[in-house]
């Protein structure tokens, strides 16, 4: 172990000499014999930490890997936290898991540890979507819950998302408190794995039915659906949990012509038909789009493995299939919901919507036009959920969203929900078809009315310890050397969410940002461009979100205007060196 740092050696020795199973120890010894020092360093140089999406990592041995011990430690720490926060109470938790390899067995480990700590567990009988876990926590009056998922990450990953009593992911100060308790678990002997059967109850259909009942209540264009019930829809769950819930939800809404991508209805954590199970990637929707072309469908939808994100494809005015990005879909959903609520006379001045700071600012403009308050939160749907819980019983939430294909309609959960998003998107398609239009034409008309906003996300991957350090240096350089211009436009405002300060670069005026501290930078240009730089909280990436906008004079100028905005974004990215 001569080429390993001393602290890494110490961790490895703890695992080799501790109460870990022989298979784990044998794997470590083999890695040492093969001098896989880089892999060992990445596996042991730190403990998995809660980020914006919880605990997530590559499956394997080590303190920085997903395995029964890291998840056991997380569950033991969470158990200790819950017993401190809810003394002398019967503590209840709900557990769900997705289609990923080892999700079911790891979920059993989590249930075992909770039950061993005297905590009552509601355990889903089979895989279920993340939003249904959030719903179950609220429905069953639980103090917490966990879903085993790595969302849209590659097949090597798995994750542990922890939730509070409101059905939302833990936020400050509780997220840090949970991690402090997890960090106190220094040895495998600190984890109680001894399952107590009477503390575990299997749940399923009853919660499924209640979840579906709440979704059906959210329909706002029932007559349009009735007239357009045969609109042709193709759906794929990309081998995941969407296959459990989305088809029944579409049927409950009244859609009668839904074609499922059979190959991708098969539950499989290896995701054999795609490179990545991510509806943001065109490859993930390619089979669904092929099917749509075969049957001349009108809408394609695909959800990620835990069904909290949804991607869509529609036909443009040339009859070509195109993918909407998360900004386009999110903005269209919000515009539709506000339109429908206004038409129904439901906007009383007490409603609000929520978005993150990196989704399109066209949403702010649309909300203002309807007289509806729009709140901006940090990236991570847990912040949207936190705000919703704070307003519960005081203001009425309509809809919220983030650019990474995550949206929520209604207050039944406190996380993004691709199940309700799918049925609302289908309803939206029926609504516009009923008016002789389409989702693409509705998008263009929205741009004509409110302004053409175009966004692009670029992710730069930097793996391992060295990659994490490189990402930190990039952010430091951006802070110390703020770009003077981006895409030919002067940078006039710098927002640093880490220092929680906004600086006018022309006047020098500094104002505070009323959001929690986060490692995010935003450059605002003279012509209204907003460029955000943000290291991911769950992946080894730094993300750049570029948004530019201009007026769209008429629908027939869409393509030339789109091309001109693309040119500006290209120039911005070149100036950033990415």
> Does the pLDDT at position 467 exceed 90?
no
Which pLDDT score, from 0 to 100, does residue 179 have?
82
Distance of CA 482 to the CA centre of its chain: 29
Distance CA 447, CA 290 (A): 29
Distance CA 379, CA 377 (A): 6
Please choose, from the candidates 482, 516, 227, the residue with its C-alpha nearest in 3D space to the C-alpha of residue 357: 516
Which pLDDT score, from 0 to 100, does residue 326 have?
97
The token duo for 559 is 């393509």
Q: What angle do CA 350, 381, 402 make, to 5 degrees?
A: 80
Distance CA 234, CA 220 (A): 22
Q: Do domains 46-203 and 452-576 have the same CATH topology?
A: no
Kindly state the average pLDDT of the residues 141-160. 95
For residues 397 and 387, the answer to whether their CB atoms sit within 8 Å is no
Which pLDDT score, from 0 to 100, does residue 486 have?
97
Under the banding of pLDDT at 50, 70 and 90, the label for residue 519 is: very high
- 292 Cβ contact partners less than 8 Å away, ≥ 6 residues apart: 232, 234, 299, 300, 313, 321
For residues 503 and 496, the answer to whether their CB atoms sit within 8 Å is yes
Distance CA 132, CA 5 (A): 43
Where are the domains positioned within the chain?
46-203, 211-218+228-450, 452-576
For residues 367 and 334, the answer to whether their CB atoms sit within 8 Å is yes
**33-47, 222-236, 263-277, 326-340: least confident range:** 33-47
For residues 372 and 351, the answer to whether their CB atoms sit within 8 Å is yes
Distance CA 47, CA 182 (A): 10
Under the banding of pLDDT at 50, 70 and 90, the label for residue 51 is: low
Which pLDDT score, from 0 to 100, does residue 3 have?
84
Which pLDDT score, from 0 to 100, does residue 152 have?
86
Hey, how many other C-beta atoms are within 10 angstroms of the C-beta on 23?
A: 8
Please choose, from the candidates 420, 370, 430, the residue with its C-alpha nearest in 3D space to the C-alpha of residue 400: 420
User: What's the pLDDT tens digit per position in 299-314?
Assistant: 999 999 999 999 999 9
User: What's the pLDDT tens digit per position in 167-184?
Assistant: 999 988 898 898 889 889
Distance CA 286, CA 300 (A): 10
Distance CA 428, CA 353 (A): 18
The token duo for 25 is 């120890």
The token duo for 412 is 């039944």
Choose the CATH number for 46-203 among 3.40.50.150, 3.40.190.10, 3.30.300.30, 3.40.120.10: 3.40.120.10
Q: What angle do CA 149, 404, 447 make, to 5 degrees?
A: 155
Kindly state the average pLDDT of the residues 459-470. 86
The 3-state DSSP class for residue 78 equals helix
Under the banding of pLDDT at 50, 70 and 90, the label for residue 55 is: confident
Name which CATH class applies to 211-218+228-450. alpha beta
Which pLDDT score, from 0 to 100, does residue 536 have?
81
User: What's the pLDDT tens digit per position in 388-414?
Assistant: 999 999 999 999 999 999 999 999 999
Which pLDDT score, from 0 to 100, does residue 186 have?
83
The token duo for 143 is 């103090």
CB burial readout 432-456, b (16+ within 10 A) else e: bbbeeebbbbbbbbbbbebbbbbbb
The 3-state DSSP class for residue 434 equals helix
User: What's the pLDDT tens digit per position in 423-445?
Assistant: 999 999 999 999 999 999 999 99
Kindly state the average pLDDT of the residues 437-462. 96
Residue/partner pairs of 173-179 with CB below 8 Å, 24 or more apart = 174/81, 174/85, 175/50, 177/81, 178/50, 178/77, 178/78, 178/81, 179/49, 179/50, 179/77
| Exposure of 95 in the CB half-sphere (CA atoms within 13 A) | 29
Which pLDDT score, from 0 to 100, does residue 540 have?
80
> Does the pLDDT at position 52 exceed 60?
no
pTM: 0.94
User: What's the pLDDT tens digit per position in 179-208?
Assistant: 889 889 888 999 999 999 999 999 999 999
Catalytically annotated residue among 63, 115, 151, 422: 151
Distance CA 320, CA 318 (A): 5
Which pLDDT score, from 0 to 100, does residue 538 have?
62
User: What's the pLDDT tens digit per position in 536-552?
Assistant: 866 688 999 999 999 99
Which pLDDT score, from 0 to 100, does residue 255 have?
98
Order of all β-strands in the sheet with 310-315 = 258-260, 233-236, 299-303, 310-315, 321-323
> Does the pLDDT at position 53 exceed 60?
no
| Exposure of 146 in the CB half-sphere (CA atoms within 13 A) | 34
Beta-ladder partners of 93: 121, 144
Per DSSP, the residues of 476-502 read: HHHHHS--SEETTEEEEEEEETTTTEE
For residues 173 and 164, the answer to whether their CB atoms sit within 8 Å is no
Which pLDDT score, from 0 to 100, does residue 466 have?
83
User: What's the pLDDT tens digit per position in 71-118?
Assistant: 999 999 999 999 999 999 999 999 999 999 999 999 999 999 999 999
Distance CA 440, CA 301 (A): 14
CA 73 vs CA 13, 67, 97, 279: distances in Å: 18, 10, 18, 32
For residues 494 and 523, the answer to whether their CB atoms sit within 8 Å is yes
Phi, psi values for residue 201, rounded to 5°: -120, 130
Exposed, middle or buried, 509 (CB in 10 Å: 0-12/13-18/19+)? exposed
CA 446 vs CA 121, 440, 506, 552, 555: distances in Å: 47, 10, 33, 10, 10
Which pLDDT score, from 0 to 100, does residue 50 have?
62
The token duo for 524 is 């605002």
What does pLDDT average to over the chain? 95
CATH no. of 452-576: 3.30.310
Q: Tokens 């991508």 appear where?
A: 261
> Does the pLDDT at position 54 exceed 80?
no
Which pLDDT score, from 0 to 100, does residue 537 have?
67
For residues 355 and 547, the answer to whether their CB atoms sit within 8 Å is no
Which pLDDT score, from 0 to 100, does residue 404 have?
92
For residues 572 and 486, the answer to whether their CB atoms sit within 8 Å is yes
151 carries an active-site annotation: yes
Please choose, from the candidates 98, 161, 103, 100, the residue with its C-alpha nearest in 3D space to the C-alpha of residue 127: 98
Distance CA 542, CA 523 (A): 16
The 3-state DSSP class for residue 375 equals strand
């Amino acid at each position: 172990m001569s080429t390993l740092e001393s602290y890494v050696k110490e961790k490895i020795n703890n695992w080799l000499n501790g109460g870990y199973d022989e298979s784990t120890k044998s794997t470590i010894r083999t890695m040492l014999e093969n001098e896989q020092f880089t892999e060992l360093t990445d596996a042991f140089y730190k403990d998995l930490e809660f980020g914006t999406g919880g605990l997530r990592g590559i499956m394997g041995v080590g303190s920085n890997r997903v395995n029964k011990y890291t998840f056991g430690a997380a569950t033991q720490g969470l158990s200790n936290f819950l017993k401190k926060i809810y003394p002398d109470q019967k503590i209840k938790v709900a557990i769900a898991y997705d289609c990923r390899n080892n999700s079911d067995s790891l979920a059993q480990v989590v249930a075992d540890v909770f039950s061993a700590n005297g905590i009552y567990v509601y355990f889903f009988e089979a895989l279920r979507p993340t939003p249904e876990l959030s719903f179950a926590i609220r429905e069953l009056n639980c103090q917490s819950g966990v879903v085993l998922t790595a969302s849209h990450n590659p097949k090597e990953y798995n994750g542990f998302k922890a939730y509070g009593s409101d059905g939302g992911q833990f936020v400050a100060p509780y997220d840090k408190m949970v991690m402090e308790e997890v960090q106190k678990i220094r040895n495998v002997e600190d984890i109680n794995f001894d399952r107590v059967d009477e503390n575990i109850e299997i749940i399923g259909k009853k919660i499924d039915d209640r979840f579906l009942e709440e979704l059906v209540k959210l329909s706002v264009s029932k007559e349009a659906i009735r007239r357009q019930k045969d609109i042709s829809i193709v759906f794929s769950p990309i081998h995941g949990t969407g296959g459990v819930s989305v088809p029944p939800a579409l049927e409950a809404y009244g859609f009668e012509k839904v074609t499922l991508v059979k190959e991708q209805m098969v539950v499989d954590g290896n995701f054999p038909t795609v490179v990545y199970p991510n509806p943001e990637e065109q490859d993930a929707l390619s089979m669904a789009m092929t099917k749509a072309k075969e049957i001349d469908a009108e809408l394609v939808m695909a959800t990620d493995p835990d069904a909290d994100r949804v991607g869509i494809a529609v036909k443009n005015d040339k009859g070509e299939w195109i993918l909407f990005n998360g900004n386009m879909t999110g903005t269209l959903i919000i515009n539709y919901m506000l339109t429908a609520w206004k038409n129904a006379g439901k906007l009383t001045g007490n409603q609000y919507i929520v978005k993150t700071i990196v989704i399109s600012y066209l949403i702010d403009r649309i909300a203002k036009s309807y007289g509806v308050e729009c709140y901006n939160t940090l990236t991570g749907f847990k912040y949207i959920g936190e705000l919703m819980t704070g307003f519960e019983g005081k203001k009425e939430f309509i809809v919220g969203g983030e650019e990474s294909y995550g949206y929520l309609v209604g207050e039944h959960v406190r996380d993004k929900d691709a199940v309700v998003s799918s049925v609302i998107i289908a309803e939206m398609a029926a609504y516009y078809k009923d008016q002789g239009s389409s989702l693409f034409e509705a998008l263009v008309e929205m741009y004509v009315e409110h302004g053409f906003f175009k966004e692009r996300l670029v992710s730069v991957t930097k793996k391992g310890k060295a990659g994490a350090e490189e990402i930190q240096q990039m952010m430091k350089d951006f802070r110390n050397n703020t770009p003077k211009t981006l895409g030919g436009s002067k940078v006039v405002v710098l927002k640093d969410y880490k220092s929680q300060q906004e600086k006018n670069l022309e006047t020098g005026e500094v104002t505070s940002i009323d959001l929690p501290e986060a490692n995010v930078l935003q450059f605002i240009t003279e012509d209204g461009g907003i460029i955000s730089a943000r290291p991911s909280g769950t992946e080894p990436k730094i993300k750049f979100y570029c948004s530019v906008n201009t007026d769209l004079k008429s629908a027939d100028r869409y393509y030339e205007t789109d091309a001109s905005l693309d040119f500006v974004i290209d120039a911005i990215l070149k100036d950033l060196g990415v």
